[in-house]
Structure 1
């Protein structure tokens, strides 16, 4: 009779994750000893910080809810750093046309599988430091007849002072954030709205 195989699942423990984070720090630390770390080195270091933070959450000693909230927020913040570092590297390697084509194709695929409907435009209202003045920024995507690459992010402001131009990094960051926002909204829509007519 063949003995039953033990369950392969093993929950994470503080010690194993802490040890892994410590080993990563030893390997990755030297690449951070510069005033301007390489984007991939920064992404790797923030991944280490994520594991270090997860280890803190796995400690056997109970933590106050407020403390856990800080650690969990740190994990989300690390993910933002990793995303931005990846976009910095990507923007430095690719042409604007290639980046626009990739993000547009990704948006089309997400819409086809019902993951995130493509946002046509988005308006963000910012409150300036005086606490009273507001600036409205409208984001949209360039069409076939636009001056820039098709699928490129465009923005306009109601401020008399101009916005900086959209570069590869800004395009990738905006499209990533719009996709995340669209995913949240798409998942909240009534199912009947998503049915094909």
Structure 2
């Protein structure tokens, strides 16, 4: 999904950093390193989505383009049981997300898979797909995420995206309303919109 990191997956010890964050009333620790999105701090859009995504009654979550794993790990911690899959094309992100699921004690219900968009989850369905999509890779890529999402959602499943308000948010919301029965702006903050689509 995001451009693959040109170097090796595993960072050197000198490259590794640690982010400590409080999300939904819980403390999390995330290993980070250069070569992944927003490695110095949790991106404000990711933070907003992590705080607001509705996980009530959810048993399965796909974190699409997971980076170092914030959304998937928060979802797993909230669920306590079920199944969370985190995917990314960036090998360094995959390595970090795998380490972070262990660091935050959710390894029993999470897994990390390498691959582009929905390729790693062929023939699977989820109650929620959550993503901070790579808008800088182009609007068409984000619209593709929206169009293909129903193929990977359960009957009552929902797609949750966070986007910058000034970077195609209205076009993305319009596409969600075309593809799904309904879509809305579920939260706003810091120049970001959390978009929710269902049905």
Coarse TM-score class (shorter-chain normalised): under 0.3
Q: Which protein is bigger by CA-based radius of gyration?
A: 1
TM-score by length of 1: 0.23
TM-score by length of 2: 0.23
Structure having the larger proportion of residues in helix: 1
Structure having the larger proportion of residues in strand: 2
